[in-house]
Structures are given as C-alpha cells and as structure tokens.
Amino acid sequence: MNPGKGMKWRDLIFYILFVPLILLILVVSPYDVLHLKYSSVFPIYYYLIGYFFFILSLVIIDAYTAYAEKTGKAVAFQTPDY
C-alpha cells in the first residue's frame, strides 16, 4: 500500500489505523506468551471459531465480488487495467 495524493480519505484513515495495529502484534504477542502465559493452552474451539470466521469472510468477499462484477461496480481490491 502506498499512501499518496490520489488516496481516498477513508482509505487513508484505514491505512493510518491499520498499519500501526498490525505492527503492534509484534509487540503484544511476545508479551502475551512470555509474561501473561495466555497462549500456553489454547482450546480447540478457539481454532474452530477462527476457522469459521475466516471461511465466512472468504465467502462474503467472494459473494461481494460476484455481485460487483454482475452490477458493474468497482471492487476495492481489483488492480487497475493499464
């Protein structure tokens, strides 16, 4: 992602919030494992819930992409044709 002059304001807000939060994972996860010891025993249903929401997100993205192509609307994650 390259923030610049042509970026929409909502994309810029997303970029400003999203990038630091993703980088914060690198700080929080070692603290979680070493100090708080939350990750030592991770119940299987957490994994199943995570897989469920991951697959649900893929289905939603696929459905939206199909709808956008059918109606001729632009999809945010498509690359422009040069």
35 and 5 in a single domain? The answer is: yes
Q: How many distinct structural domains can be found in the chain?
A: 2
5 and 34 in a single domain? The answer is: yes
Q: Could you tell me the pLDDT band of residue 38, with boundaries at 50, 70 and 90?
A: low
In a domain, 57, yes or no: yes
Statement: residue 25 has pLDDT above 80: yes
Half-sphere exposure (CA, 13 Å, Cβ side) for 68?
A: 12
Better pLDDT: 67 or 55: 55
1 and 31 in a single domain? The answer is: yes
4 and 28 in a single domain? The answer is: yes
In a domain, 82, yes or no: no
Better pLDDT: 48 or 68: 48
Distance CA 27, CA 15 (A): 19
In a domain, 81, yes or no: no
Cα 75 to the center of its chain, rounded Å: 16
Q: Are 68 and 74 in contact (CB under 8 A)?
A: yes
Q: Which domain holds residue 49?
A: 42-76
Q: Are 10 and 18 in contact (CB under 8 A)?
A: no
Statement: residue 17 has pLDDT above 70: yes
